[in-house]
């Protein structure tokens, strides 16, 4: 596995463990109102890719897992792992892509509290900007190789709807995704990612 690829994975895991540690410290201080939360999303997604002005367009299909930790007044940090596949995007070629991304997220909570929700709100709206690396494989890239690791960027937002204090759905998550792992002569991919799924809070 590429060293940079391993480094991003380590960073994502480290951030998640940091969030769990911070939450544990708050539990040990019941006299204070909890101001942090950890949200875990599991989503299914379609990603529309337009790698070049002369080629339009093809769809990646896949999903992802993302985790966020809200730290102070809605500001926090998020990490996401996404996996996507495009079959026969041009004749005789498939493409697979896995991305690891980390960055800031801002969350607004509105609406009536859900049943048993001490400090939370039923609706959450969030916006984020994430940076990381994309790993593409099983296709032909500009360097003649069948795999590549390059820079990736994702920005957008969505909505969470909680039914209980710990469980809900994510009706929509819309993101712009840029990656520099263009295949078969294309140097970049600029995609729009539409996702929906389940959300858990800890």
Q: Quickly state the pLDDT bin for 27 (edges 50, 70, 90).
A: very low
* Complete domains list, the chain, with CATH: 3-201 (2.40.160.20)
**Model-level pTM?**
0.71
Rounded-to-integer distance, Cα 182 and Cα 36, Å:
39
pLDDT confidence of residue 141: 63
Among the residue ranges 10-24, 96-110, 117-131, the one predicted with the least confidence is: 10-24
Cα-based distances in Å from 166 to 14, 29, 33, 111, 132? 23, 20, 18, 16, 28
Which tens digits make up the pLDDT trace of 148-200?
A: 778 899 999 999 999 988 899 999 999 999 887 755 555 677 889 999 999 99
Q: Quickly state the pLDDT bin for 41 (edges 50, 70, 90).
A: very high
């Amino acid at each position: 596995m590429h060293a940079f690829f391993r480094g991003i994975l380590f960073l994502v895991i480290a951030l998640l463990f940091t969030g769990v540690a911070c939450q544990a410290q708050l539990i040990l201080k019941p006299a204070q109102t909890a101001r942090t939360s950890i949200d875990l999303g599991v989503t299914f997604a379609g990603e529309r890719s337009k790698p070049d002005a002369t080629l339009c367009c093809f769809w990646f299909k896949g999903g992802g897992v993302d985790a966020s930790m809200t730290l102070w007044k809605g500001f926090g940090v998020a990490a996401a792992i996404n996996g996507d596949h495009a079959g026969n995007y041009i004749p005789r070629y498939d493409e697979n892509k896995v991305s690891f991304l980390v960055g800031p997220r801002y969350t607004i909570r509105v609406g009536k509290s859900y049943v048993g929700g001490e400090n939370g709100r039923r609706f959450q709206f969030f916006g984020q900007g994430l940076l990381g690396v994309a790993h593409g494989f099983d296709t032909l890239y500009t360097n003649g190789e069948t795999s590549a690791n390059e820079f990736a960027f994702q920005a957008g937002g969505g909505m969470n709807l909680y039914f209980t204090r710990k469980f809900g759905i994510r009706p929509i998550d819309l993101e712009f995704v840029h990656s520099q792992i263009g295949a078969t002569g294309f140097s970049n991919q600029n995609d729009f990612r539409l996702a929906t799924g389940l959300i858990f809070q800890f």
